[in-house]
Amino acid sequence: MEVARVLTTALPYIQRFAGKTVVIKYGGNAMVDEALKRGFARDVTLMKAVGLNPVVVHGGGPQIGSLLKRLGKPSEFIDGMRVTDGETMDVVQMVLGGLVNKDIVNLINQAGGRAIGLSGKDGQLIRARRIKADDGRTDLGQVGEVASIDPAVVELLESGDFIPVIAPLGVAPNGESLNINADLVAGKLATVLKAEKLILLTNTRGILDAEQQTLTGLTPTRVGELIADGTISGGMLPKVRCALDAVASGVDAAHIIDGRVEHAVMLELLTDEGVGTLIRSR
């Protein structure tokens, strides 16, 4: 009876989102815990099977840091961004475009999906430009932001019933590779693809109030008030701004959810209660 109840609860959401694109930024604990990794792969496979079009953009900061440490190269961060010299960029590309990307692809395929791994360098997907630290002067090396996105390769994969899995690497005008924040890539990609939803997996329960209760159903105006009064601060600010940019650019809703919860994506998308913070466009 419980299984039947769950399925009937999910049906209206499946019907509503059938044929729609959902961009998922995959990171945090969900990427390192083996049970959560397998659960995420099954969730994405299920989404595709019932008619949604999931597009996965993944991070890999802890894995990059771990390999750099094994190589005896220290990690340096400024304003939360990894300083990326040429040697570090080689490791970033190896980890993001190789190890992490192919691990996710393999897990989805093992779950019965048809995943294809690529980076922003493939098919001229992501054109990027270098950025500096917040002071506008400090050089971060090969760290970039999205200049433009050509979604043709992603749309081609979607139309062929594949699940795109994208590493957040871009190409500068001079041809150099740039490391880009995965949240920013996911947000821009959701806008260009005219996605129904942007989902950001995090290691928190979403936006919390003073009593540590999860806030949801927020409008951009309400989010602005929460930023102004300090409820939203610190590491949550970049994710919230990414979500706001997406909904201001045509994405119907953005979700900030707890990737530490098993099957968090399904619970947020296909249940009445959800498990995180929903920011709607209006």
Q: Which residues pair with 254 in a beta bridge?
A: 198, 279
| CA 162 – CA 158 distance, rounded (Å) | 5
Q: Does residue 273 surpass a pLDDT of 90?
A: no
Cite the beta strand spans of 38-195 per DSSP E. 53-58, 77-78, 81-82, 115-119, 126-132, 139-149, 163-167, 169-171, 177-180
111 within 8 A of 42, measured Cβ to Cβ: yes
Query: How many alpha carbons lie under 13 Å from residue 241 in its C-beta half-sphere?
Result: 8
State pTM to two decimals. 0.93
Q: Does residue 3 surpass a pLDDT of 80?
A: no
230 known ligand binder? no
179 known ligand binder? yes
- Domains and their CATH numbers in the chain: 14-280 (3.40.1160.10)
43-86 confidence digits (pLDDT tens): 999 999 999 999 999 999 889 999 999 999 988 888 888 999 99
260 known ligand binder? no
282 known ligand binder? no
162-202 confidence digits (pLDDT tens): 999 999 999 999 999 999 999 999 999 999 999 999 999 98
Q: Does residue 245 surpass a pLDDT of 80?
A: yes
Q: Does residue 27 surpass a pLDDT of 90?
A: no
Percent of the chain with pLDDT over 90: 67
Q: Which residues pair with 56 in a beta bridge?
A: 24, 165
